Structure 1
Amino acid sequence: MTRRLRLLTTATAGATAALLLAGCGGGGGDKSNDKIAGADTGASASASPSVSASASEAAGRPKITFPSDAKNVFEDVKTGDATKDAVLADSALSTNSVDEAIFNGSTGTKALGFYNSGKALESSITYVQGYIDSSDTWIGQVRFFDRKVSLSGSNEAYVTYCSDESKAFIKNKKTNKVDRNATTSRSYVLYHTSLTKNAEGVWQTTNIVSNRGDKACQP
C-alpha cells in the first residue's frame, strides 16, 4: 500500500452503488451536495464537539480516540434536520471507529461493532486485519466532504460523500517508514453507504461501497 486505502465491501461495487443511489432517490431526501458548515469532527486525542462530544459521549456510546498524528475532518455536519444530522454524526463515527481499530491494532474494539453491522462490519474487520497483518497504520489528515443524506422511512438512511486522502499516508509500525506519494486522482474517493437505526437509536452503517478516483470528488 502506498497510500491510505479506505474500505470497499466484498459486494459488487457497481450493483451495490446503483442500489444505494436508487435508495437515495426514493427516500425523498436532500439531493444537494452543499457543504454543511465545516466542523472538524476528527477524533484526535480530544474529541470534537460536533460529533464525538455530542454523540460519542452519550450514554452507552464508546469514546473514540486517535493518535496525535492522525485526524479525520468531516465537513457538512449540520443540515437543519435533526434526524439527518444524527445520521451524519453516526456515519462519521462509523468511519472513525474503523480507523481507531487500525490505530489500536485490533478488530475487537468496542466502537467497531457499535457503529457498524452486517456487511459493513464484516468488511471493516477484514480491512482492519489487512493493516494488522502488514504492521501498517496511517498518519496525516483525511477530509470528508460533500456529504449527502437521504432518509427512507424512520429506520433507514443513505449517505454519500467524498474523501480527500491527499494528506494521509501509510506508515509501517516496524520500520516507521512513511510512504509519501504524490497526489493523484486516486487520492479522492466517492462513497455510497447504507445505515439502519437499531433498537438503541444508533444509526449503524450496514453497507459501504467506494469508488476510488471518481470524477465527482475531484478538485
Structure 2
Amino acid sequence: MRTRTTTAAATALTAAVALLLTGCDGSESSDPKDPDKIAGADSGSGSSKPSASATGDDIERPEIKLPSDVNNVFEGGTTGDPAKDAVLEDNERRINSIDEAITVDAKKYPALKFYSKGDALVSAADYIMSFRDENRSFTGRTRYYDREVTFHKDDAASVTYCVDATQTYPKDGTTGKVDRSVKASPSDYVFYNTRLEKNAKGVWQTTTVSSTEAAKRCM
C-alpha cells in the first residue's frame, strides 16, 4: 500500500530532488562543484537536531522523529556481530529518515542526506516526491525482515531485506483522512538490495538501491 507513483520527466525530477534536498544537513560540506553536496547542507534545523548515537559511538547524528501512527518494525536488528549490527542500525536510520520526510511536515530533513548519498539519495528524493506530488502520506505498520549484511572491500557492505507493507494505508496530506478500504496486494511485498559505504565519520551511508516488487521470496 506504499507503492510509488509513476516517475515524472527527468528534468522535473531533477528540480524536485534539488528542492527537497536544499538545506538538508549531511556528512559533507556544501560545494556546488560536487552533486552530492547540496547547498545549505550544514544549516539544517526543524524537526531534527544532532544527538549522540544510541549505540554508544560518539557520532553526532540527526534526530529522527516519526509520527505516532507510523510504526516501522525492524526484525533481526541484533546479530551478535557488532560490525554487522552497526550496518543494520544505519540501514534502519536511513529507512526512517525517508519516512520522516514523507510523513512529517518540516522545512528540513537533515537525516535524509546523513544516511544516503549518490544514487541512493536521488532515488530516496524521487520516492518522497512521488508522495508529495499527489499530496499523500501513509499510516500504519511496515515490517522489515530477513535482513542480511555482507561485507565487501574498501569499507563497503550490502544489506538485503524484505518489506511487508500490507498493514499501511494511504493518508490524505491535507485532511489527514486515512483510506482503509485499500486492499493488500502482492506489490506490498518488496525485496531490497542496497550498498553502503562507511564515510570518514563512521556512518554507513547507503549509496545504491535496487528493489523488486511482488517479490516471492518475501511472501
Task: Establish whether TM, by shorter chain, passes 0.5.
Answer: yes
From the superposition, tell whether residues 116 and 106 of structure 1 become closer, same or farther in structure 2 (CA, over 3 Å).
Answer: farther
Deviation at 1:176, TM superposition (A): 2.9
Of structures 1 and 2, the one scoring higher in RCO (CA 8 A, sep 6+) is 1
> Match for 1:153: what amino acid?
K
TM-score (norm 1): 0.73
Q: Distance in 2 between matches of 1:203 and 1:62?
A: 14
2:66 aligned partner: 66
Q: Distance in 2 between matches of 1:206 and 1:7?
A: 22
Larger Rg: 2
From the superposition, tell whether residues 132 and 58 of structure 1 become closer, same or farther in structure 2 (CA, over 3 Å).
Answer: farther
3-state DSSP of counterpart to 1:61: strand
- Deviation sequence 1:156-191 (CA, Å, 0-9, x none): 000100011011111012233323322222221110
Q: Distance in 1 between matches of 2:77 and 2:194?
A: 16
Q: Does 1:200 align with 2:201?
A: yes
Count of residues in Structure 1 that have an aligned counterpart in Structure 2: 174
**Structure 1 or 2: more helix by fraction:** 1
- 1:150·1:158 contact (CA, 8 Å) conserved in 2? yes
> Match for 2:149: what amino acid?
V
3-state DSSP of counterpart to 1:179: coil
Matches within 5 A, 1:1-219: 3-5=1-3, 53-54=54-55, 59-105=59-105, 108-153=108-153, 155-180=155-180, 181-218=182-219
> Match for 1:60: what amino acid?
E
Deviation at 1:146, TM superposition (A): 0.4
- 1:8·1:208 contact (CA, 8 Å) conserved in 2? no
3-state DSSP of counterpart to 2:55: helix
Gaps of 5+ in 2: 8-52
The share of aligned pairs that are identical, in percent, is 43
1:27 aligned partner: none
CA RMSD in angstroms, aligned pairs only: 2.4
From the superposition, tell whether residues 210 and 68 of structure 1 become closer, same or farther in structure 2 (CA, over 3 Å).
Answer: same
Deviation at 1:210, TM superposition (A): 1.1
From the superposition, tell whether residues 107 and 95 of structure 1 become closer, same or farther in structure 2 (CA, over 3 Å).
Answer: farther
- Deviation sequence 1:101-134 (CA, Å, 0-9, x none): 1122468410000000000001111211222222
> Match for 2:192: what amino acid?
Y
3-state DSSP of counterpart to 1:53: coil
- 2:5·2:130 contact (CA, 8 Å) conserved in 1? no
From the superposition, tell whether residues 7 and 217 of structure 1 become closer, same or farther in structure 2 (CA, over 3 Å).
Answer: farther
Gaps of 5+ in 1: 10-51
- 1:193·1:209 contact (CA, 8 Å) conserved in 2? yes
TM-score (norm 2): 0.73
